[in-house]
Homo-oligomer: A and B are copies of this chain.
Amino acid sequence: MALIVQKYGGTSVPDAERIKNVAQHIIDRRNGGDQLVVVVSAMGDTTDKLIKLAYQVTEPPSERELDALLSTGELVTSTLLTMALRHMGYEAISLSGAQAGIKTDANHSRARIVDIDPTRILRELEQGRIVIVAGFQGITDDMDVTTLGRGGSDTTAVALAASLKAAVCERYTDVEGIYTSDPHLVTEARRLREIGYEEMLELAAYGSKVMHPRAIELAGEFNVPILVASSFTDSPGTLIHGEVSMEVRNKMRSIAHDLDVAKIMVVGVPDRPGIAAVIFGPLAEAGISVDTIVQNASINNITDLTFTVTKSDLVKAMIVVEPIAMSIGARECVSDARLGTISIIGTGMQNTPGYAARMFSTLSKLGINIQLITTSEIRLTCIIEESRVKDAVRALHQAFQLDLEG
């Protein structure tokens, strides 16, 4: 008998009928003899509806109040799912984040879990109950309700799995696992049977929307295996874990892409120490997240500084950057919102040469101009024109033979 943490996303529980289906899915697992702790998200578009309601009253809403409001979405799902399980004859109990002992800091709307007190969960498990936990939420020392922000329910599930020393954290959604590329784009895209934490992190950071990097990072830190699978099919899914087999480690694993990329170039800046801080400090203060940063080699003490932001942040970023650029003597400040990234990812890149060359020649054959290149030990990313991203992904998938079983 193992202890399993499961997590069901909002697309798995849009209405009463699908909640019953999830209950059956849980029961099938339970009948195998395991103890189950199940984390749920809010039903379908509940969170969006609550946010809309808040914005009808005020703009922007107080973060403390918005957290208390949004947390009700997960409470509704957890109680309904518990009712469904009991209806089917299984002992179950719902717990709010507070009841589940999920203690966070007081950073409303983006709280971090600081501790988990599993006393109540363990007591309920001992009594033979399936424990249904409202995801995405916790409580401060002062008994104020917080939400965990993006990737919140996944983070709840992984943190609980770590705290309870669960055998695995099973994460169910409407996708069947992690693919060699986006299956909507590349028809030959293949589901991966397993993937390491680092590869998965790069994938999440560079375009895969399947999981937020935060939960993957936490899982890696506590060595919690995550099974990503669909609650609608019997596909075995993808296991994200730390013991990926040797052979798999030597491969190129996947092609990620991201269409939400805009570029800002600060051109002709007199090169002196500290110009990066002068520009990126105010951007961070404005809550704008900067991805890739490239500074050209300086010629005659004049340099260019290029960086990327998401498209939705571009206008706000230009308002921050332009006056700064002028004040430090830059010649001009230009932007381009019609960009995208393609990334090849795999631990195999660490010890096998030739991957970069194959990527560049593939893009070259398609006549695609590479605007920026960034790398990590297990990733190579090119920024290209948005309109060529899809062609590039398909061509790279073929060039690296990702359709062949690894």
Contacts and interface: CB of A to CB of B under 8 A. Distances in A.
Interface in A64-102: 64-66, 68-69, 71-72, 75-76, 78-80, 82-84, 86-87, 93-94, 96, 98-99
Interface in A1-38: 16-17, 19-20
Contact of A68 (B19, B66, B75, B143): B75
A61 B16 CA distance: 13
Interface string A213-255: 0000000000000000000000000000000000000000000
A304 B31 CA distance: 57
A125 interface: no
B68 A86 contact: no
A120 interface: yes
Contacts of A299: none
Please report whether the interface of chain A is mostly helix, strand, loop or mixed according to DSSP: helix
A301 interface: no
Interface of A: 16-17, 19-20, 50, 53-54, 56-59, 61-62, 64-66, 68-69, 71-72, 75-76, 78-80, 82-84, 86-87, 93-94, 96, 98-99, 120, 143-145
24 contacts: A16-B53, A50-B76, A53-B76, A53-B80, A54-B79, A54-B80, A57-B87, A58-B84, A58-B87, A61-B83, A62-B86, A64-B93, A65-B79, A65-B82, A65-B83, A65-B86, A65-B93, A65-B94, A68-B78, A68-B79, A69-B79, A72-B75, A98-B98, A99-B143
Given A16-B56, A58-B83, 7 more contacts: A20-B57, A53-B80, A57-B80, A69-B75, A69-B79, A71-B75, A72-B75
